[in-house]
């Protein structure tokens, strides 16, 4: 799978951030591939994730998948949140304010998701976000 990284260029941060549809579909495909038991597929996915982490907008896509794509399977949505939580822990100090605010707002709006797995993932993400924002 070839990623069009240019489709992940930063968007203006607004309350109603919208993903690029092509970029969103590529990220969804990557999330699904990451669940493969094949180690070479997992390595390839990991390399692509590392490349995508160069784009602050990537984190917006991850929170969007977690909180807005309610028709996606829970495993994919939760995985998106776990990747985002790891990004928050590793790169929070480099996040533009708009990205941090978007993540925080989406967590607050979705802490009561109907899925226990998604609620737990959102809660873990929110806790990581708050802990790091207080420590800076």
Give the integer Cα–Cα distance in Å for 106 and 64: 8
Percent of the chain scoring above 90 in pLDDT: 69
Percent of the chain scoring above 70 in pLDDT: 88
Q: Would residue 36 be called left, alpha or beta, if left means φ above 0 and alpha means ψ between -120 and 50 degrees?
A: beta
Cα angle: 41, vertex 84, 130; to 5 degrees: 160
The closest alpha carbon to 13, from 91, 129, 104, belongs to: 104
The full set of domain ranges for the chain reads: 18-135
Mean pLDDT of the chain: 87
Q: Is the pLDDT of residue 14 over 70?
A: no
Model confidence, pTM = 0.85
The stretch 102-112 carries a mean pLDDT of: 94
The stretch 83-110 carries a mean pLDDT of: 91
Q: Which helix (H) or strand (E) holds 112?
A: none
End-to-end CA distance of the chain, in Å? 38
* pLDDT value at residue 13: 44
Q: Is the pLDDT of residue 15 over 70?
A: no
């Amino acid at each position: 799978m070839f990623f069009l990284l240019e489709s992940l260029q930063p968007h203006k941060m607004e309350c109603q951030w919208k993903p690029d549809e092509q970029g969103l579909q590529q990220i969804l495909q990557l999330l699904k591939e990451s669940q493969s038991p094949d180690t070479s597929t997992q390595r390839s996915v990991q390399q692509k994730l590392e490349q995508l982490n160069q784009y602050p907008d990537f984190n917006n896509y991850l929170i969007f998948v977690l909180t807005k794509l309610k028709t996606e399977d829970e495993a994919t949505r939760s995985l998106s949140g776990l990747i985002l939580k790891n990004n928050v822990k590793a790169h929070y100090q480099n996040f533009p304010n708009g990205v941090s605010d978007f993540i925080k707002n989406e967590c607050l709006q979705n802490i009561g998701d109907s899925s226990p797995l998604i609620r737990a993932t959102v809660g873990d993400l929110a806790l990581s976000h708050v802990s790091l924002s207080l420590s800076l």
